[in-house]
Amino acid sequence: METLLPTRFERHRRQSGTWHSIAARTVTALALIAATCVSGMVGCGRQEAERAAVEGRVTVQGQPVAEGSIVFFPQGAARGKPAGADIVGGKYTLTAAEGPLVGSARVEIQAFRKTGRKIPDLMGDVSQANRPLIEEKINTLPAKYNVDSKLVRQITVGENSLDFEL
C-alpha cells in the first residue's frame, strides 16, 4: 500500500524551497533599497532651494529707519532658513548667497531706539563674571510689522528691490 503522507525528505525539500524563495525575495528587496539610497546620494536627492539678492529702503512716516532689522521668512512651497539683514540709515542689502529663498516670504521689520540705559551684554562671553555693558535698544514698531506681521513679498530669481513704507 502506498503512503499519501510526504516523507521527511519531501517535507524538508518543500520547506527549503520556501525558505530559498523568501530569502531570494528578501535579497532582491534589499538590493532595490540599496540602489535607491545610492542613487539619492549620487544626484537624485533634494536640491537646495534658490536664493536671491534683495535690497531696499525702510521708512516710518516718511523718515528712514536709522537702525533696525529685516527678516524674510519663506512661505508656501519654499522651505528653508529665514534670511535677515541690518537696516542702517533706512537701507538694507542681502546678497544672493545670504538672501531669501525665491518665492513668497513673510517679512518682519524692527526699528531700534536707544533708551540711554546700560545693560549687560548677554551675547558676550558667558564665562566672564562681569560682562561688559552695552546700550539698551528697544523696538519702536508695533507688532503688526514684526511678530504679528502680515507683510508678504514675492522674491524673484536675480536681484530684487523691495521698499517698505510703514
Rounded to two decimals, the pTM is 0.67
Q: Is 99 left (phi over 0), alpha (psi -120 to 50) or beta?
A: beta
Domain that holds residue 150: 53-165
- Specify the number of domains making up the chain: 2
Q: Which residues contact 70 (CB under 8 A, 6 or more apart)?
A: 58, 84, 85, 87, 92, 107, 108, 109, 110, 164
- What pLDDT is attached to residue 93? 98
Say whether both 24 and 82 belong to one domain: no
pLDDT in tens, the chain (166 residues): 555 555 554 444 444 444 444 444 444 444 445 544 444 444 444 456 799 999 999 999 999 999 999 999 999 877 889 999 999 999 999 999 999 999 999 999 999 999 999 988 887 676 777 778 899 999 999 999 999 999 999 999 999 999 999 9
- What pLDDT is attached to residue 82? 96
- What pLDDT is attached to residue 126? 65
Residues 37 and 30 sit within 8 Å (Cβ to Cβ): no
Supply 10's cell numbers.
519531501
- What pLDDT is attached to residue 102? 95
| Site of grid cell 527678516 | 71
CA distance 12 to 19: 10
Say whether both 86 and 135 belong to one domain: yes
Say whether both 100 and 156 belong to one domain: yes
CA distance 100 to 123: 25
Say whether both 74 and 25 belong to one domain: no
